[in-house]
Amino acid sequence: MLTINTFCQQLQTYLEPDQIQQVRRAYYFAEQAHDGQQRKSGEAYVLHPLSVAGILADMGIDHQSLQAAMLHDVIEDTEITKTALANQFGCTVANLVDGVSKLTHLEFKSHAESQAHNFQKMAIAMARDIRVILVKLADRLHNMRTIGVMRAESRCRIARETTDIYAPIASRLGMHKISVELEDLAFRAYYPMRHRYIKRAVETARGKHKALIEQVQQALVNCLAQENLFGTVTGREKHLASIYNKMKIQNKSFREIMDVFAFRITTDKVDTCYRILGAVHHLNLYRPVPGRFKDYIAIPKSNSYQSLHTTLYRVGSGVQTPIEIQIRTREMDAIANHGIAEHWLYKDDDSGRSAGTHSRARQWLQGLLEMQKQSGNALEFINHVKHDLFPDEEYVFTPKGEVLALPKGSTAVDFAYAVHTQIGNSCIACKINRRLAPLSQKLESGNTVEIITTTTAKPNMSWLSFIATAKASASIRHYLKNQVNRDSVNLGRRLLNQELGSINTSLEQIDPNQLQQYLERISIANLDDLLADIGLGKRMAYVCAHSLTKANNDTGQATNAPIAIHGTEGLLVKYSKCCNPLPGDSVVGHINSGHGIVVHRNLCKNLKELARQTDKTVSLTWAETTEGNFNVHLKVEVTANRGIIANLAASVAENDANIDQINVNEQDASLSVVNLGLNVHNRIHLARVMKSLRRLHGVIRLTRQ
Ligand code: MN
């Protein structure tokens, strides 16, 4: 049985004494924390973390991962917190344990193909340190090895999760050995009868072929000896889950699959691999099967697997039993078995720091890319591997438990638009992990996101500053653009009605046929387009009104009734910056072609110039109640006395107005000019503010600009 002492002896083969001591300390800590807890089998709980560490040690993984393995269930199952672990074992180990606990919480609900795929990526994305995955895989492997004690129901659930999520992750990281064992254990847990049947059949077949297999193996060994090539020949066993899957998916018979002899030859150098290949291709009595040779040394698989594959058949024999041969170096063999984990075998100086580990994972990636570059293969491969290991995506849950992939930096607004445009357009708030959160908060893998909508909500222009997806951006822009269109139709309707009113008619009174003829004459599709054109200032309301009413335009003697400004016209009514009109001021509108109306005060200097284009001015008035805040500028001459600025500011605030700009020019020692930019509701509000400013001690003169 595995004990901490035998375990530490094993560690001496590749760890320093002080590192082994730290692993031992983590063991004792876990033993105490789990004191009194038992596994379902009745064993002391601590045997589980010890076995998990054992699996990792077999792969030669670093001491921090081993510590994390010892402690991996401590946060989850005991009172001990992450902070406590950080104090005892440092942040790196505490983060690893925390990462493993978070993965444990991932609830796997649906096993639809795409969902499983997203779960795999989510798990990898959640583990910022790839060692979290290694510990989690070892944890799962030990749980699968001891799954027999669980109830049938949970056995099936865990087995399915293993096949759908964890075995593929192991395979993605190139950890062939773990992936195969996970698959076989899951197969046994899920289909105990089929597993037993296939196992027995495999044993029988092996017994039957034993003599033949030994004969081929001997032929290969002799061949290497003859050619003076170094290499170890081993027989390869097919694992049960893969036999089952081949029968089920490829519809092959058990005999077809089993009547294949598989061998592996490992050697020292790449060069020798090719020479061995040459030798076996010229083996007496055997011939290579055309089209079955694969060179994965020159062109490695995406998980960095390298090997030469070839298939031989025996000439002249009645039975055509294919002989599959894999040829590779011992290093390639180790990478094929352990994948990413293999990189902890060759530790370097800074193996104690997490940055080092991460950069080693990256180095591994870099190595892959180098290999790929040498073999001159497609860029697609690089993207594929990089994306798989360090995804640029966050994976979040909908309230129903579906997984959604979003680019890094995405917010709840991106999420809302990803679910449905309508949800995005009507979203007003969100909950992240069941708590209210700002819409601009960046989402993280594993978050559950819920969007709160109302029918009156509208997309907000400010969202454009924090969203990350093209879909959200396009939808918001589309909505805002339509908003401009809706605004211009409304404004155009009012402008046209104003002109029609001056000739004693209105849009409703125009004969529809006459309207249709007019639209056709000026090649405009419909009334809304005409109104939008008028609203945008592309067409003159005056001209349209008179063209529409040609028959009775002699009666025009009524006055132009001005258009009322409500302050809610949106983007098409702007207030000029040169004279800052306020509700209550006498105003005139100037039509700015393509952009709507600009409101000026009657006495604006610029207006004299503009007013020459009479067809571009419209008379305006303010609606009884106008909404919004309006800018206004005041020039305040004050005696240079200390505290005067503070008094000005206080007085403005007392009257419910805002200062949005203030600057002071000193005229001389005794006089200063203060330029104040204010926000007020209307002319009366301004008058109140000015009155109270005038009363201040030190204010000499006050003028509106
Ligand atoms: Mn565990």
Neighbours of 236 (CB within 10 A): 13
- Does the pLDDT of residue 460 top 60, yes or no? yes
In this structure, the answer to whether residues 174 and 223 fall within a common structural domain is: no
In this structure, the answer to whether residues 550 and 659 fall within a common structural domain is: no
- In angstroms, what is the span from residue 390 Cα to ligand 1's centroid? 25
Q: What is the pLDDT of residues 265-280, one digit of tens each?
A: 999 999 999 999 999 9
In this structure, the answer to whether residues 179 and 36 fall within a common structural domain is: yes
Question: What was the pLDDT predicted at 343?
Answer: 54
Q: Which residues contact 532 (CB under 8 A, 6 or more apart)?
A: 485, 488, 489, 492
In this structure, the answer to whether residues 207 and 180 fall within a common structural domain is: no
Domain count, the chain: 4
- In angstroms, what is the span from residue 37 Cα to ligand 1's centroid? 13
- In angstroms, what is the span from residue 49 Cα to ligand 1's centroid? 6
Catalytic-residue membership of 76 = yes
Q: 589 near 598, Cβ under 8 Å?
A: yes
In this structure, the answer to whether residues 135 and 170 fall within a common structural domain is: yes
Q: Which residue has the higher pLDDT, 624 or 396?
A: 396
Task: Please report whether residue 235 resides in a domain.
Answer: yes
- In angstroms, what is the span from residue 72 Cα to ligand 1's centroid? 6
- Does the pLDDT of residue 687 top 50, yes or no? yes
In this structure, the answer to whether residues 615 and 498 fall within a common structural domain is: yes
Task: Please report whether residue 308 resides in a domain.
Answer: yes
Task: Please report whether residue 425 resides in a domain.
Answer: no
Query: Which residues have C-beta under 5 Å from ligand 1, the single-atom ion?
Result: 73, 139
Q: What is the pLDDT of residues 183-234, one digit of tens each?
A: 999 999 999 999 999 889 888 887 888 888 888 899 999 999 998 999 999 8
Task: Please report whether residue 238 resides in a domain.
Answer: yes
Question: What was the pLDDT predicted at 439?
Answer: 92
Show the domain range for 109. Answer: 4-186
The partner residues of 427 in beta bridges, in order of sequence, read 453
In this structure, the answer to whether residues 138 and 211 fall within a common structural domain is: no
From CA 203, how far away is CA 563, in angstroms rounded?
95
From CA 263, how far away is CA 89, in angstroms rounded?
46
Phi, psi dihedral angles at 585 (to 5 degrees)? -70, 155
31, 76, 331, 637: which one is catalytic? Answer: 76
Q: Which residue has the higher pLDDT, 637 or 59?
A: 637
- In angstroms, what is the span from residue 83 Cα to ligand 1's centroid? 20
**CATH code of 221's domain:** 3.30.460.10
| First CA to last CA distance, the chain | 91
In this structure, the answer to whether residues 127 and 101 fall within a common structural domain is: yes
| DSSP state at residue 590 | E
Q: What's the chain's Rg over C-alpha atoms?
A: 39
Which of 100-114, 417-431, 460-474 is the most confident on average? 417-431
Task: Please report whether residue 373 resides in a domain.
Answer: no
Q: What is the pLDDT of residues 287-301, one digit of tens each?
A: 888 888 889 888 877
Which of these, 488, 437, 477, lies nearest to 596 by C-alpha position? 488
In this structure, the answer to whether residues 609 and 647 fall within a common structural domain is: no
Q: What is the pLDDT of residues 75-124, one digit of tens each?
A: 988 889 999 999 999 998 999 999 898 888 776 666 666 677 777 777 76
In this structure, the answer to whether residues 30 and 114 fall within a common structural domain is: yes
In this structure, the answer to whether residues 555 and 652 fall within a common structural domain is: no
**CATH code of 94's domain:** 1.10.3210.10
The bridge status of strand 573-575 relative to strand 596-601 is parallel
- In angstroms, what is the span from residue 174 Cα to ligand 1's centroid? 22
Q: Which residues contact 289 (CB under 8 A, 6 or more apart)?
A: 310, 311, 312, 313, 322
Catalytic-residue membership of 58 = no
Q: 406 near 415, Cβ under 8 Å?
A: yes
77, 295, 331, 444: which one is catalytic? Answer: 77
From CA 645, how far away is CA 666, in angstroms rounded?
13
In this structure, the answer to whether residues 566 and 657 fall within a common structural domain is: no
- In angstroms, what is the span from residue 183 Cα to ligand 1's centroid? 18
- In angstroms, what is the span from residue 204 Cα to ligand 1's centroid? 37
